[in-house]
Amino acid sequence: MRRTRRPPSSSIAVARLCLVLHVLVCSIPGSIAIFTTHEWFPTKPIVYFRCQGENKTYLPDVKQKDILYTFNGDESWQPLTELPEKKCKRCGVYEEDTYTSDDVYDEWELCAGNFVNGKYLHSKDNQFNASFICPECTTSSDVTTSDATESKNEASGQTRRKIAMIVVACTLAAAVTGAAAVMVYRWWRKRKREQEQARFLKLFEEDDDIEDELGLEL
């Protein structure tokens, strides 16, 4: 194992951890870099990798942040875990805490289908960068086709739902607009009728006034 100091930046070269399928010996070098520690007191971090339901795999060489730790694949703690072909595992990188529950750098679903040419990169902003190496982890054409079909069907379903929502929204908007127009029209008719009645009554009052004036003159 060798380590190289790097500047404290989230753009640091992606670190790699050795991960193998079916307990194969990892022959490709890997490395890891952490960008922060979570302990309140200035102590060296205790970093480990663990998948749900499995034991912790400690990374004893990782003691400082912003340093690139490089491995050659024959460390005593290798391999990290085993991955079945068609099932994912909930895994993560953690820092052991002395007084409270362990701190989480990140947790995610680790799947054999995530690997491209046997490599899988994973990072968390301002936390760590890592890549996992699994020479036998490849995405089969069946899985790819199935995933593509599923994604296509899901996208098609979402499109149909969006269209349906747009149609419903337009229908409701048209109904509300129509109802508002009818209400405005009825109010206008009622208002006009009231004005005509007021004008008609006013004419009668004026005629009565004229008749009264004529009667007085006679």
List the chain residues with pLDDT less than 50.
7-29, 141-145
Domains of the chain: total: 1
- 175 is a domain residue: no
- 47 is a domain residue: yes
Nearest to 114 by CA among 94, 86, 92, 95: 86
- 11 is a domain residue: yes
- 95 is a domain residue: yes
> What is the spatial distance between Cα 20 and Cα 42, in angstroms, rounded to a whole number?
34
pLDDT at 218: 53
pLDDT at 90: 92
CATH number at residue 11: 2.60.40
CA atoms within 13 A on the CB side of 29: 10
Cβ contact 48:63 at 8 Å:
no
pLDDT at 23: 32
Q: What is the pLDDT of residues 58-96, one digit of tens each?
A: 988 888 888 888 777 777 887 788 888 778 899 999 999
pLDDT at 156: 72
> What is the spatial distance between Cα 133 and Cα 20, in angstroms, rounded to a whole number?
6
Residue-number span of the structural domain to which 94 is assigned: 2-139
- 48 is a domain residue: yes
pLDDT at 132: 82
- 213 is a domain residue: no
CB atoms inside a 10 Å sphere around CB 218: 5
How many angstroms from the chain centroid is the CA of residue 105?
18
Q: Is the dihedral of CA 101, 36, 76, 123 positive or negative?
A: positive
